[in-house]
Amino acid sequence: MQMRLYATATTALIAILLVVGTVTAEDHDDDDDDDGFLGDAGEGLGTAAAWGLAFSTTIIIWKPGLKYIRANADKIVEDGRWLKKKLGKANRWYLKIHYWIGAGAVLVGFIHGVAMNRWEVLFWGGWVGMLFMSITGSLLLWKWPPRKVKKGARLLHAQRAVLVITIVLLFVSHEFFD
């Protein structure tokens, strides 16, 4: 189990590094803006963080689809139990990827922000939203928090408003003020 977790984390890290390398190689920013101390790599990190955020939000589609298929498993295939068992395994695998990609996006987003040397509140507001979703999500995984804390964390983590505000802040800050 522990080995699988390390393999998943390593795979996610390699995927992020491949995306960063590809984006950096293809990104031809010819203007003379100050690109921070990492130069174009800082922009590539931002793109990687954006893709990580995009993947981690696919849970919005995954969870309702999973519930629908589980509810109608007997209508979809003859052996509904078999399908439900396979869906449970797929869900556990998907959630592990969701955790690691989400946390990775927060970390890569932080490095991107520092590398680009932009310290305005608007730029960091989106990252704070990502961090907030990551922290509340991690509270759901730990055994320590009391049930009341987990319930509050679940409500806050699942709020679409937090995600929408985060994406709006990221979009506005990068599109209009960058």
Q: Is residue 29 part of a domain?
A: no
- 58 and 108 share a domain? yes
Domain count for the chain: 2
Check residue 70 and give its pLDDT: 92
Residue 30 has pLDDT above 60, yes or no: no
Given a contact cutoff of 8 angstroms between Cβ atoms, the answer to whether 133 and 173 are in contact is: no
**63-79 residue pLDDT tens:** 999 999 999 999 988 88
Tracing tokens 């969701």 back to the chain, one arrives at: 98
In a domain, 43, yes or no: yes
**110 and 52 in one domain?**
yes
CA dihedral 31, 107, 122, 160 (to 10 degrees): 120
Task: Please give the pLDDT value at position 34.
Answer: 53
Any domain includes 127: yes
Same domain? For 136 and 151 the reply is yes
Q: What is the distance between the alpha carbons of residues 82 and 78, in angstroms, rounded to a whole number?
A: 9
pLDDT of residue 1: 54
* Residue at a domain's end among 98, 116, 134: 116
- pLDDT above 60 (res 29): no
Q: Are residues 47 and 89 in the same domain?
A: yes
Residues of the chain with pLDDT > 90, as a percent, come to 48
More confident residue, 79 or 25: 79
Does residue 125 sit in the same domain as residue 146? yes
- Tell me the pLDDT of the chain averaged across its residues: 83
Distance CA 69, CA 63 (A): 10
Structural domain including 99 reads 1-23+39-116
Is the separation of the CB atoms in 27 and 44 below 8 Å? Answer: yes
Helix axis angle, 40-56 to 80-116, nearest 10°? 150
**Same-domain status, 12 and 90:** yes
pLDDT at res. 7: 62
Please identify which residue in the block is written with the tokens 């989400």.
102
Q: What pLDDT shows up at residue 119? A: 82
Residues 100 and 123 in one domain: no
* Residue 106 to residue 100: CA distance in whole angstroms: 10
Domain final residue, candidates 62, 95, 116 = 116
- Per-residue pLDDT of 131-142, as tens digits, reads 999 999 898 888
100 pLDDT higher than 80: yes
Tell me the C-alpha distance between 65 and 76, whole Å. Answer: 13
Q: Which of 116, 142, 162 represents a domain boundary (last residue)? A: 116
The predicted structure's pLDDT at residue 6 = 58
